[in-house]
Chain A
Amino acid sequence: MLTISLFNILFTVINLLILLFFVKKFLFDKIDAIIQKRQQEVDEATEAADKAMMEAKAAQKEYEKKIELADEEKEQILADIKKLGYEEYDKIVMDARKTGDRIIKEAKASARAEAEKEREIHADELKDMVIDAAAKIAATKHSSEDDSMLYDKFINEARANNG
């Protein structure tokens, strides 16, 4: 038990080196490779997730901006339409007023012409009556009585005609 043999010491050293080789190559390195691979995959997945998240945020921002723009556009269109409507309204009112004025004017003119015509007809009738009366007077012998009767008749006739 106590004897020392260099040969056996050497053997033990070789044994240990063989075991060391197996522990390092087949236990540690193998497990390390697997763990590292897994870590790498986890890192990649995390990176991809971060990227996707960032992209989603950017897209969201873009859409918000677009919606804001659309709102502005809508306001603009509404304002334009209102303006256009007011203009049209003003124009229509103005036209109506003009037409009304014109109609009134025409009506006044035609009324005046009608009155003129009426007056002319009366004048003609009066003239005819005067001529008629004159002719009657001239044709008959007449006394002053007859004359005043005629005058009265004439005046009554004229009054009745003028109504």
Chain B
Amino acid sequence: MKEMLNELLMADKTLIHIPFGNGFFDIYKSVVVSWIVLAVLITLILVLTSNLKVHNISKRQAAVEAAVLWIRRVVGELLGEEAMGYCPYIVTVLIFIAFSNMIGLFGLVPPTMDLNVTLALSLMSIVLVEAAGIIKKGPKKWLKSFTEPMAVITFMNVLELFIRPLSLCMRLFGNILGATVIMELIKHVVPIILPAALSIYFDIFDGCIQAYVFCFLTSLYIKEAVE
């Protein structure tokens, strides 16, 4: 089992080796897989939104419209009215994480199992959260908001700047890694039928839940920042 964990955690992630920069410019597997995810998503978006009409809409268009309105309503409820402008970002992150988590179904390693990807996601989220705060309140008020509700907890508030993205990043990474490890273990014990059933739980259900949690927390932070 230890060997397997070693294999999973310490495996060489490099897929495309760049012959200079001492490995700095190496492109990891996770990035290449996320390119695939991106390609699929963009193709899907372009195909689904092609040939849109005002009248006599096709079933496809009706479904896309309903889906867009639904997802926007769900995210809008999380964000609140004031932060509605950040809705596209949240939706982007949501579908990216959800699809990334589910790509395990097609035998690829989910990009979200790479710390670099989750780190990038959480960094973007925290930058967005703080930017939203600065845009809404102005730099002075934003700085002052660290001393609220009282000056004593300023240190805690500053610490939160690092804790929030770290927790976001580690939660996603840990969940997907954990799911993969458990799946590997089960495959070792029962090689047929059971892995398929559990894969539905871990890859689809857990994947969506984690995507939702990530977006839920990010929008919560943004909502808090613009209040």
Contacts and interface: CB of A to CB of B under 8 A. Distances in A.
A9 B52 CA distance: 36
Given A9-B120, A13-B123, A18 B38 contact: yes
Contacts of B42: 18-19, 22
A39 to B, nearest CB: 10
Interface string A21-59: 011101110110011011001000000000000000000
Contact of B95 (A1, A3, A10, A23): A23
A5 B45 contact: no
A126 B11 CA distance: 183
Instruction: Give the contact-size bracket for chain A.
Output: 20 to 34
B45 A4 contact: no
Given A1-B9, A2-B9, A27 B31 contact: no
B45 A16 contact: no
Contact of A12 (B31, B68, B95, B177): B31
A86 interface: no
A11 interface: yes
Nearest to A5: B116
A12 B121 contact: yes
A107 interface: no
A5 B124 CA distance: 16
Interface string B65-92: 1001100100000000000000111011
A131 to B, nearest CB: 135
Contacts of A13: 120, 123-124
Contacts of B31: 8, 11-12, 15
Contacts of A26: 45-46, 49
Given A7-B25, A11-B31, 9 more contacts: A1-B11, A2-B9, A6-B24, A12-B111, A18-B42, A20-B88, A27-B45, A28-B68, A31-B69
10 contacts: A1-B8, A2-B115, A8-B27, A9-B116, A12-B30, A19-B95, A23-B45, A27-B48, A34-B65, A35-B69
